[in-house]
């Protein structure tokens, strides 16, 4: 039970740290977002809030800054911090986007499922391929398949996911016209539980998922191969063979399970990196998920949206890792028992 409590506590600390970080960047950095927003509002800019040219009075500017970022300028630091965190955590008040003029939370909440959809599918697909390939290579160690695949994997591993994405976009979408160039679904489809919409989602999601697979793929197969080979040399496996256990049982329960364990940390980092990679990926495929809005916000200097996207990314990653963590106990029963001696 302590294991679960610790994991959940850690998740909360992480989210707390990330949000505090955004506050620090907002408020403490000289020449940071607050200052540049102030300048923008002073000169009468600010998207839909433009109320004629000329300067605004400072109170009006402060009010606008507070409205957009949730941070009240000119109050003591600790009070500003308290107010910011309270609004953020209790009321999900992420401020208002400067460019879109909508609450940041609404924009990102609508985009979130799409990002999760392509990322998680890409990662799972990549990991499945990785594990199977690594296991087969270990099984045929030294054979022709092993040698050829090692080279193939090294070559594949040297391809960054965005390069894969660009090549796929150039060949499969622009060259052959099999897939759309961007977007999330057919523009004439009605969102909901109907076949045409689903087909569109799948059609548009295929390329992002495939390039997400490249992220999950990585050098995992070689690590899996090395782990399997190491496990294959251990004594208990010989005992299992001598006991006359079936090959399938040995390969899955004895080798597979033990060899997958070290990959598990890789899986958690993979979760984190695949959401990160969304920023570049969604930009390439013009896929309006959270990553696309992050990029958009950066280009438009829309700090509330940028900070909001960062917090969203953190929350999604933390939630996924928490789920992975809590299920880890099923894969490795030793994880939830902590009796390690301290030196």
Partner 1 sequence: MATSDPNDNQADDIDVFNIVADSDPLTRKERLFRWIDLNIFTPYRIIRSDWRASFGIAMIIFLVFVGTVVIRFIPYPRVGDYPRYAPPFQSLAYPLGTDNGGRGILAQLVHATPDMLIIAFSGAVVAMSIGVVIGTVAGYKGGYWDEVLMGISDVVICIPGLPLIIVIVAIYPPTSPWLVGFILAIDNWPGLARALRSQVLTIREESYIEAGRAMGRNSGEILWDDVMPQLMPYITIRSAGAARGVIFQSVGLYFIGVLPQGGLNWGVMMNDAYNIGSAVSNPGLSGHWLYAPMFVLLLMSMGLILLSQGLDRIFNPRLRARHEKKASEKDEIEVDL
Q: Which two tokens stand for residue 238?
A: 């010989």
Smallest gap from Cβ 191 to partner 1, in A, equals: 27
Residue choice 52, 158, 188, 193 for contact with partner 1 (CB under 8 A): 158
Residue 72 within binding range of partner 1, rule CB under 8 A: no
- Taking the C-alpha atoms of residue 146 and residue 102, their distance in angstroms, rounded to an integer, is 55
Binding of partner 1 by 21 (CB under 8 A): yes
Q: Closer to partner 1 at the Cβ: 10 or 251?
A: 10
- Number of chain residues interacting with partner 1 (CB under 8 A): 62
- Minimum CB separation of residue 47 from partner 1 in Å reads 18
What 3-state class would DSSP assign to 246?
coil
Indicate whether 277 belongs to the interface with partner 1 (CB under 8 A). yes
* Cα 144 versus chain centre, distance: 37
Q: How far is the CB of 159 from partner 1 (least distance, A)?
A: 6
For 253-288, give the DSSP string: IIIIHHHHHHHHHHHHHHHHHHHHHHHHHHHHTT--
Q: Are 205 and 281 in contact (CB under 8 A)?
A: no
**Is 269 an interacting residue with respect to partner 1 (CB under 8 A)?**
yes
Helix and strand counts by DSSP (H, E) for the chain: 14, 0
Residue 75 binds partner 1, judged by CB under 8 A: no
**1 near partner 1, judged by CB under 8 A:** no
Q: From residue 194, how far is each of 116, 191, 202, 209 by CA, in Å? A: 20, 8, 12, 21
For 35-84, give the secondary structure using H, E and C.
Answer: HHHHHHHHCCCCHHHCCCCCCCCHHHHHHHHHHHHCCCCCCCHHHHHHHH
Binding mask 219-248 for partner 1 (x = CB under 8 A): x-----------------------------
Which residues make up the interface to partner 1 (CB under 8 A)? 10-11, 13-14, 17-18, 21-22, 25, 29, 31-33, 154-155, 157-163, 166-167, 169-170, 174-175, 181, 219, 262, 265-266, 268-269, 272-273, 275-277, 279-280, 283, 294-295, 298-299, 301, 303, 306-307, 309-310, 313-314, 317-318, 321, 340-343
């Amino acid at each position: 039970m302590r294991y679960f409590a610790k994991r959940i506590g850690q998740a909360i600390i992480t989210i707390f740290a990330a949000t505090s970080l955004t506050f620090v960047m907002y408020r403490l950095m000289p020449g940071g977002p607050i200052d540049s927003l102030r300048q923008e509002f002073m000169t009468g800019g600010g998207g839909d809030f433009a109320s004629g040219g000329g300067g605004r009075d400072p109170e009006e500017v402060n009010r606008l800054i507070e409205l957009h970022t949730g941070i009240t300028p000119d109050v003591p630091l600790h009070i500003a911090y308290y107010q910011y965190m309270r609004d953020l955590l209790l009321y999900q008040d992420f401020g208002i986007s400067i460019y879109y003029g909508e609450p940041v939370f609404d924009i990102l909440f609508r985009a979130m499922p799409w990002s999760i959809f392509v990322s998680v599918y890409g990662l799972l697909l990549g990991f499945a391929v990785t594990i199977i390939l690594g296991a087969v290579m270990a099984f045929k160690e030294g054979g022709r398949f092993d040698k050829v695949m090692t080279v193939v994997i090294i070559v594949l591993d040297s391809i960054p996911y965005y390069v894969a994405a660009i090549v796929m976009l150039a060949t499969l979408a622009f060259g052959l016209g099999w897939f759309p160039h961007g977007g999330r679904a057919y523009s004439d489809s009605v969102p909901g539980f109907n076949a045409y919409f689903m087909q569109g989602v799948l059609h548009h999601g295929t390329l992002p998922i495939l390039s997400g697979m490249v992220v999950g793929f990585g050098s995992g197969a070689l690590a899996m191969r090395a782990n399997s080979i190491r496990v294959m040399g251990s004594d208990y496996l010989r005992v299992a063979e001598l006991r006359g256990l079936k090959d399938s049982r040995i390969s899955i329960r004895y080798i597979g399970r033990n060899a997958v364990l070290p990959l598990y940390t890789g899986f958690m980092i993979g979760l984190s990196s695949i959401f990160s990679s969304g920023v570049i990926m969604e930009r390439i495929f013009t896929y309006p998920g959270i990553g696309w809005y992050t990029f958009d916000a950066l280009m438009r200097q829309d700090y509330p949206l940028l900070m909001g996207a960062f917090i969203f990314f953190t929350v999604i990653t933390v939630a996924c890792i928490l789920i992975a963590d809590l299920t880890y106990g099923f894969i490795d029963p030793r994880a939830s028992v902590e009796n390690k001696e301290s030196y």
